[in-house]
Structure 1
Amino acid sequence: MSDTEVSPEIMLAFYKRLYPYKSIFGWLNHEHTPTRRFTHREWAFTLPPDTYVRYQSFADADELKKQVCQLNPTRFEIGPVYSAKPRDRKTVRAANFTPQLRELVFDIDMTDYDEIRTCCSGAGICKRCWAFIAAAVRVLDRAIRDQFGYKYLLWVYSGRRGIHLWISDKEAMELTDEQRRALVGWLTVIQGGKEMKKKVNVRQGTKSLPPGIQMSLESLRTIFHRLILEDQDCFAEEEGWETLLQLISEPSVTRRLRAKWEIKSRSSEEKWEDVKREARADKGGKIHDNMVAAMEDIVLQYTYPRLDAEVSKHRNHLLKAPFCVHPKTGRVCVPVDPSSIDSFRPERVPTVSQLLRELDEAGASAGAEATEHHSDWQKTSLKPYVDMLDRHVAALMEEVRRAKREAGPDRSW
């Protein structure tokens, strides 16, 4: 995927004509009329060449649009809902300006898979290594829904090589920093930098995995075989299979496998079969508990979601807004349906230049440009992505209406 710098003129045209401000407002606000969830929300703008403007806040979608078009940022980010309007923070005591609400967010980046993917590295991304992100989305989406009961999950492609998750359930919005750290700790399986070979330490000795991780393991075994052994062939080269051997806790098994693999070249799939045969060799066909644990941990290390935990732990963390344009690729940060994540292709995501061409070809009149930009996206290939967000918003708003009905006329959230 080649990098193409987006000019300020193209970016401004996108902000004026295509950015779905109304949909973004509904998603953050949860209601049709402005509430503190929007008016007390922090926005931050990155301006060329390297200016960063924080603590912006707006009364409604129109005010947000006016500021975005005036500043013409290369990107903008969304932060928490504060106890006071961020733009008024200098008029209140510091103790009275604190984050109150914030979506629970997660960030998964392809660069965290560089040590195991064999097809690309760095900023590169292709259909083959996107499978790592797809696997992470499937596992994390299911874990969050099943283990925590959250329903309002919005997955957003980052525009280049990663994906973000925003969770808007009331209970998720209200989590304290301490609760967020605990929740993220529960979901974190892969830990440690490049210098640490074994990155999975979620069990005591050879005891069973925690139930939530054990559930994920069932689907990850299939992913491991297809992605790690067959497609990426991660253990074909010596560096790869030496890492694999370091994750096996039985020295005698390791010695025999190394001796065998040094003599004859074998595929990753064949090497994994060798591991399984060695694991059974001394136990009459039954795999020793140590080897069961080691093999499960290997599957997890190569396929479980690699989370940037710091993004999720703090309410005041800023995260790039959906539908921003990635300044390097020109691609729009669009929502993604987790149920069809395997067929999602980053290279097919519309670019800002493509969308503006489509809009021009649709014959948008100059008068329409000047007055009613927010619906112009309907004339382009951005439409299915905005429609996806709007369905998400409709479900959020229905949840708020239901909660208000149950609470009675004098109480709301």
Structure 2
Amino acid sequence: MPHSVASEGSPASHKDNEVLPDAPPATDAPNGDQKNEGAAAEKTTAGVKLEDLFDDDDDDDNEFPASSAPVETKTEEAPGPAPVQVDTETMLAFYQRLFPFRYLFQWLNHGIVPSPDFGNREFALTLQNDAYLRYQSYPTADLFRKDILKMNPSRFEIGPVYNRNPRDRKTLGAGQLKPLAKELVFDIDLTDYDDIRTCCTKANICEKCWAFVTMAIKVVDTALRQDFGFQHILWVYSGRRGAHAWVCDPRARTLPDDRRRGIAGYLDLIRGGTSSGKRVNLKRPLHPHMNRSLEILKPYFAQTTLVDQDTFASTEQAQRLLSLLPDKGLNDSLRRKWESAPDRSSTNKWADIDALAKTGKSSTLNPATLRDAKQDIVLEYTYPRLDSEVSKKMIHLLKSPFVIHPGTGRVCVPIDIRNIERFDPLSAPTVTQLLSEIDSWDADHPSNGAAEVPEGEGSVPNASDAGGSRKLQDYEKTSLKPYIDYFRSFIASLNQEERDGKRERNEQTAPEVKSESMEF
């Protein structure tokens, strides 16, 4: 059933190879009469390549092979999903009817009254022809929504808050436009686990390998809260094979790049490639963060690494495991045992390490050294593998929550950290599914249609309803509702802290009022 779209949102037509110009002045809307500029001028910003500013999760949507094409597989790997092409009409209907513009504004604005926190924020639009339109900014949520409907981008990224309006950068002197704030962000991508996941590769994911993302989120979230004192951490599904963290505390947003590098380094553990020898070699006694992480990760190692992935089943991985053990005599005994039983499972091979160590066949074995090596192995196969470059620079652009992933058609929905174990990326709603859910709901409830207001404007009485109950907004008719409700509760908590902080600062800076006696 076709989905109706308003004429005001009709996308502007663009030539296939057109590179769009910079944003126009804030008083003018983008239009097709602007003079085009060369692509090279937009490829760098202060010496940083444009492609380095975007999250890596979407770099190659050709990783989705056609079902009929040969696919590089591992053990009984299912073929990857075919690329999903979201047509412009469907995308426009999503922006008009479902995208939470008002709540995204409140999140980035840190309140309901427009402020420079939103007005000086950079947005970068990826248009339907893959051209980038950078340095966009919007003083209000309504103008933001209007421009997105006009441009109908396939997605958009969020950048930093600048000291001046980023649209004006060409009228400013060199070095006058400076980033002031941006959420501290982290990126987890399952392709970084390809050397240890046996169920899927590249863009393919399943419940078994998504466990790597789950355990990574747990470790990173715990460290950010307990070791750095951050509270407002929004985790968002990337729409395909990973997750992003947005640390939104006021203190996190104003961190300079050197502090961001420090936090990224604190969380960085896996070093080098798979052929570079031991990738985890920690000093003892372990840092409290590593001790805590081990306790979180041990159950995942037992289930995900040893059972679900059966990581050490292959001869190559078994040899890799042996190379990480510290005693030659023990290694020789294990090698002989495993060569005599080539089908031995990873769980049994891991148990064999302690079993053969207890036999005393190796006179050089140090039990403490073996214990430490096993702990390092658990961490090497389960500890978060972060794209730390994403976290180190305030100017890095990251895909917005709630946009559509162009390769899967799935919405980049928030992940409720309280129910992280229950999150299923393959159940995240797709744009076509959501629009169909609206049609189905409207067909079943003909007397209670959509409210005639933009999303997020608030309750609207239903004049046709004698009880005065409001008409539902379109997202409330769909499986997107719990994700937007969670986002709203996150924003409410964050903005409450913003208000409390401003009130506290005002009280601290208020002039002292001397008390004087009153005479009657």
TM-score range, shorter-chain basis? over 0.9
Q: What is the alpha-carbon distance in structure 1 between the residues aligned to residue 358 and residue 389 of structure 2?
A: 41
1:257 aligns with 334
Q: Could you tell me which residue of structure 2 aligns to residue 392 of structure 1?
A: 490
Query: Deviation of residue 281 (structure 1)?
Result: 4.3
Shift of the alpha carbon at 1:182?
0.7
Q: For residues 61-210 of structure 1, what are the structure 2 equivalents within 5 Å?
A: 61-201=141-281, 203-204=282-283, 207-210=284-287
SS at match of 1:80: strand
Provide the secondary structure at the position in 1 that maps to 2:134.
strand
Report the residue type matching 1:271 in the other structure. Answer: K
Q: Which has the higher helix share?
A: 1
1:258-273, aligned counterparts within 5 Å? 258-265=335-342, 266-273=344-351
Provide the residue aligned with 1:288 in structure 2: 367
Q: Is the deviation greater in 273-282 or in 326-335?
A: 273-282
Pairwise CA distance, 1:94: 2.7
Could you tell me which of 308, 323, 337 is aligned with 1:231? 308
Q: Does 1:362 align with 2:362?
A: no
Which residue is equivalent to 1:60? 140
Q: Tell me which stretches of 4 or more aligned residues in structure 1 moved more than 3 Å.
A: 278-284, 364-371, 409-412
Q: CA deviation at 1:134?
A: 0.8
DSSP-derived class of the 2:497 partner: helix
Residues 1:274 and 2:372 aligned together: no
Q: Which residue of 2 aligns with 1:309?
A: 388
Question: Please, what TM-score do these two structures have when normalized by structure 1?
Answer: 0.94
Q: Do 1:324 and 1:333's aligned partners in 2 also have CA atoms closer than 8 Å?
A: yes
Summarize the Cα distance change of 1:108–1:411 in structure 2 as closer, same or farther, 3 Å threshold.
Answer: farther
Paired letter, 2:379:
L
- Per the alignment, in what secondary structure is the counterpart of residue 165 of structure 1? strand
Evaluate the alpha carbon distance shift between residue 124 and residue 69 of structure 1 in structure 2; reply closer, same or farther with a 3 A threshold. same
User: Using the alignment, how far apart are the partners of 1:24 and 1:279 within structure 2?
Assistant: 57
Cα distance, 1:295–1:127 mapped onto 2, change above 3 Å:
same
Aligned ranges 1:30-69 → 2 under 5 Å = 30-69=110-149
Alignment partner, residue 297 of structure 2: 220
Corresponding residue number in structure 1 for 2:411: 332
Gap change, CA 1:277 and 1:94, over 3 Å in 2: farther
Aligned partner of 1:319 in structure 2 is 398
Looking at structure 1, the residues matched to 123 and 273 of structure 2 have their Cα atoms a distance apart, in angstroms, of 32
For the residue of structure 2 that corresponds to 1:48, the secondary structure is: coil
Q: Is the 8 A contact 1:404 1:411 kept in 2?
A: no
**Contact 1:40–1:81 at 8 Å: present in 2 too?**
yes
Maintained 8 Å contact 2:442/2:449: no
Q: Which runs of 5+ in 2 are unaligned?
A: 1-79, 457-472, 511-520
Tell me how far 1:411 sits from its aligned partner: 5.8
Equivalent position amino acid for 2:497 in 1: E
Q: Which amino acid aligns with 2:319?
A: E
2-structure distance, mates of 1:290, 1:46: 52
Aligned to 1:402: 500
**Larger deviation: 54-63 or 400-409?**
400-409
Segments of structure 1 that go 5 or more residues without pairing to the other structure are none
Q: Are the equivalent residues in 1 in contact too, given 2:414–2:487 (CA < 8 A)?
A: yes
* Greater length-normalized contact order (CA 8 Å, ≥ 6 residues apart): 1
- Which residue does 2:514 correspond to in 1? none
Which of 324, 329, 338 is the matching residue for 1:247?
324
- AA in 1 matched with 2:429: P
| Residues 354-377 of structure 1, C-alpha deviations (whole Å, 9 max, x = no match) | 111111223299995764344421
| Change in 2 beyond 3 A, CA 1:92/1:293 | same
The one-character-per-residue Cα deviations of 1:322-360 (angstroms, maximum 9, x if unpaired) are: 000011111000000122121111111110001111112
Q: Once the 2 structures are TM-superposed, how far is the Cα of residue 193 of structure 1 from its aligned partner?
A: 2.6
Secondary structure of the corresponding residue to residue 407 of structure 1: helix
Give the Cα–Cα distance (whole angstroms) in 2 for the partners of residues 400 and 239 of structure 1: 53
Report % sequence identity. 48
1: CA distance between counterparts of 2:509 and 2:438?
A: 45
* Structure 1 residues 346-357: aligned runs within 5 Å: 346-357=425-436
Q: Is the 8 A contact 1:27 1:393 kept in 2?
A: yes
- 2:101–2:455 contact (8 Å) kept in structure 1: no
Structure 1 residues 222 and 238: CA distance shift in structure 2, 3 A: same
How far does residue 74 in structure 1 lie from its aligned partner after superposition?
Answer: 1.0
Preserved contact between residue 118 and residue 232 of structure 1 (Cα < 8 Å): yes
Greater Rg by CA: 2
Mapped to 2, the partners of 1:280 and 1:291 lie a distance apart of: 11
Q: Which amino acid aligns with 2:243?
A: I
- In 2: Cα distance, 1:279 partner to 1:408 partner: 65
Name the structure 1 match of 2:17.
Answer: none
Contact between 1:280 and 1:288, CA under 8 Å: does it hold in 2? no
Cα distance in 1 for residues equivalent to 2:366 and 2:309: 26
Aligned-pair CA distance for 1:278? 3.6
3-state SS of paired residue (2:186): strand
Shift of the alpha carbon at 1:136? Answer: 0.8
Aligned residues: 409
Cα distance change of structure 1 residues 77 and 411 upon mapping to structure 2, 3 Å threshold: farther
Worse-superposed segment, 159-168 or 41-50:
41-50
Please say if residues 280 and 287 of structure 1, whose CA atoms lie closer than 8 Å, have aligned partners that are also in contact. Answer: no
Distance in 1 (alpha carbons) for counterparts of 2:275 and 2:109: 44
2:121–2:166 Cα contact (<8 Å) kept: yes
- For 2:357 and 2:370, the matched residues in 1 are separated by 6
Q: CA RMSD in A?
A: 2.2
For residue 200 of structure 1, report the CA deviation from its aligned partner. Answer: 1.4
Paired AA for residue 240 in structure 2: R
